[in-house]
């Protein structure tokens, strides 16, 4: 399996990076308007859909479902496809994990948090707030994971990348609809995933290939 996404970025990729940074800045300016438009305070049908997307779009269900598909593909003699999916799955989940670690230090308030809106870092009012839900808004771990999957898949299997991206947009909507994240949170996560996902998949490819061989399965 050959990597089609080089690192460090080419000139064109630097342009896309600049566009992504501009999008994040613009998202902060539009936070109140866009986040308010998507928020669903009433427990109606749309809210239930958002809750389902948010619940099953988190990393534990993604990991379980992804590994189940990898095993099924391997048993069904589609080892190359299973190998590729495992590589993309690991890259996407690690991209999401990295965003979660960042989120633990930014201390941004959730839209529904009782504290005044802002970035407080790891401490607030003399107390550590790392891991506190109300201060874990930026960036969105859900969205970063799906964006990482999309970014990791895009240069290897374009149809997979498109599917992961559409799922990520749906999950990002659900996070805003439930009042869990601001528009800028999910925008930053999308940009993060598109940048880190391809880099991560390239760096992890040798390790995943070695693991695959140890399991006695033919590489992709």
Q: Write out pLDDT tens, residues 112-160.
A: 999 999 999 999 999 999 999 999 999 999 999 999 999 999 989 999 9
- Taking the C-alpha atoms of residue 160 and residue 45, their distance in angstroms, rounded to an integer, is 29
Instruction: Indicate yes or no: pTM above 0.95.
Output: no
Average pLDDT over residues 88-116: 96
Q: How far apart are CA 200 and CA 148, in angstroms?
A: 9
Rounded Cα gap, residues 85 and 116, in angstroms: 42
- Residues 220 and 211: their CA atoms lie apart, in Å, by 12
Average pLDDT, the chain: 91
Q: Which of 220, 59, 67 is nearest to 147 (CA)?
A: 59
- The domain locations on the chain are 11-214
CB contact set of 190 (below 8 Å; sequence gap of 6+): 143, 144, 147, 168, 172
Q: Is the pLDDT of residue 19 over 90?
A: yes
Give the E-state strand segments of the chain in sequence order.
Answer: 123-124, 127-128
Q: How far is CA 88 from CA 51, 100, 149, 198, 220, in A?
A: 26, 18, 6, 9, 13
- How far is Cα 102 from Cα 141, in angstroms, rounded to an integer? 9
Q: Residue 157 region, left (φ>0) first, then alpha (ψ -120 to 50), else beta?
A: beta
What pLDDT sits at residue 85? Answer: 96
């Amino acid at each position: 399996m050959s990597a089609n996404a080089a690192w460090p970025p080419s000139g064109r990729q630097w342009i896309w990076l600049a566009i992504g940074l501009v999008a994040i800045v613009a998202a902060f300016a539009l936070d109140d308007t866009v986040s308010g438009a998507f928020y669903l305070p009433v427990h109606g049908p749309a809210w239930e859909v958002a809750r389902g997307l948010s619940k099953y779009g988190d990393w534990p269900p993604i990991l379980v479902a992804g590994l189940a598909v990898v095993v099924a593909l391997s048993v069904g003699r589609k080892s190359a496809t299973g190998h590729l999916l495992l590589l993309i799955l690991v890259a996407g989940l690690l991209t999401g994990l990295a965003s979660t670690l960042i989120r633990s230090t930014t201390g941004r308030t959730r839209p529904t948090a009782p504290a005044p809106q802002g970035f407080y870092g790891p401490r607030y009012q003399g107390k550590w707030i790392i891991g506190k839900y109300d201060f874990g808004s930026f960036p969105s771990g859900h969205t970063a994971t799906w964006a990482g999957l999309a970014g990791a898949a895009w240069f290897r299997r374009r149809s997979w990348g498109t599917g992961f991206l559409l799922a990520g947009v749906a999950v990002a909507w659900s996070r805003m609809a439930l009042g869990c994240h601001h528009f800028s949170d999910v925008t930053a996560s999308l940009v993060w995933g598109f940048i880190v996902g391809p880099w991560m998949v390239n760096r992890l490819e040798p390790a995943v290939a070695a693991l695959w061989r140890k399991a006695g399965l033919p590489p992709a």
